[in-house]
A and B are shown apart, each in its own frame.
Chain A
């Protein structure tokens, strides 16, 4: 069995890392695309295996210019089974490698400041309560836009995901990373009561499939 970690350009360096179970990494070339694989004993379904997968992908990101992470749990009987699965998708993979080349991903989650809790609504002013709720949601949306808009200006692409008041992944060119971090810091100083979590740089997981 072989386990598939990521795709990169043929000829890209491999990181000095080992994969699941300490397995050595190898590149399987399918035309101009390299599939980064490692050996697999058994089903590899433990949390530590998922973490090992992620660490290989991040180590690859540090040495290769274009990396398409593969979702955990793609495994194949042998190299020719892998090539069969990849061949029909080469054009798509090339396109996506081009899109993420020279870029990293940042994840951002934000929880806006909440208005102080109002008293429980009584039955007769239910509509007033709903109006308040809607107004509060609208305020949160404004704050989310104040975070999202400047970040998108420093990003090649972005994906907004459900979660928190704003949760998104941003695809950021290496040259734009400083500007991205400045935009984030700008939001934080303008909204000191909001909680912002930014993680990265990551390999561009959120931009590996069609978005």
Chain B
């Protein structure tokens, strides 16, 4: 994928997206699960940081190129 070529961010993005899918999407059979998964809050904090750092990264790249 040519769009996301930031090797240093990739593992973090992948982990956040994976956990988001696993916990919030997919087939639900019993349907009445209240999820409380230890450690997941930290992952979501990571997502916010990531979006901020991704745009910061873009800006830094543009400044370097200028």
- The reply to whether B29 and A86 contact each other, CB–CB distance below 8 Å, is yes
Contact of B51 among A6, A53, A107, A164 (CB under 8 A): A164
Contact indicator A85/B29 (Cβ below 8 Å):
yes
Considering only residues 31-57 of chain B, those with a C-beta below 8 Å from chain A are 33, 35-40, 42-43, 51, 54-55
Quick check: is B28 within 8 A (CB to CB) of the other chain?
yes
In the assembled complex, the Cα of A127 lies from the Cα of B26 at a distance in Å of 44
- Give per-residue flags for B8-39: 1 if the beta carbon is below 8 A from chain A beta carbons, else 0: 00000111011101111111111001011111
Contact partner of A71 among B2, B23, B39, CB < 8 A?
A: B23
Find out whether the CB atom of A74 lies under 8 angstroms from the CB atom of B25.
no
Interface string of B53-66 (1 = CB under 8 A from A): 01100100010000
Distance between A83 CB and nearest chain B CB, rounded to angstroms: 11
Cβ of B2 to closest chain A Cβ, rounded Å: 5
Contact: B25 with A206, CB < 8 Å? yes
CB neighbours of B1 from chain A (8 A)? 181, 184, 198, 200
Inter-subunit contact B26/A71 (CB<8 Å): yes
Within 8 A of B (CB), among A156-179: 164
Interface residue from B3, B13, B15, B22 paired with A188 (Cβ < 8 Å): B3
Q: Chain A interface mostly helix, strand, loop or mixed? A: mixed
| Alpha-carbon distance A51/B15, docked complex (angstroms) | 8
Q: Could you say which of A21-29, A42-50, A138-146 contacts chain B?
A: A42-50
Measured between C-beta atoms, what is the minimum distance from A164 to chain B in Å?
Answer: 7
Q: Give Cα A116–Cα B3 distance, bound, in whole angstroms.
A: 25
- Mask, A192-211, CB within 8 Å of B = 1, is 01011111101001101100
A201 smallest CB distance to B (angstroms)? 9
* With A69-B26, A199-B4: A205-B35 Cβ-Cβ less than 8 Å: no
List of A residues within 8 angstroms of B62 by Cβ = 193
Closest approach, in angstroms, between the C-beta of A192 and any C-beta of chain B? 8
A89 near B3: Cβ-Cβ < 8 Å: no
Residues of A within 8 A of B25 (CB): 69, 71, 205-206, 208-209
Whether B19 contacts A54 by the Cβ 8 Å rule is yes
Q: Which B residues lie within 8 Å of A193 (CB)?
A: 58, 62
Interface flag for A4 (CB, 8 Å): yes
Query: Closest Cβ of chain B: how far from A73's Cβ, in Å?
Result: 5
Which residue on A lies nearest to B6, using beta carbons?
A: A197
The smallest beta-carbon distance between A113 and chain B, in angstroms, is: 10
Q: A46-B37, A69-B25 are in contact. List 8 more A-B contacts (CB 8 A).
A: A47-B42, A50-B23, A70-B28, A74-B33, A109-B51, A111-B51, A111-B55, A185-B3
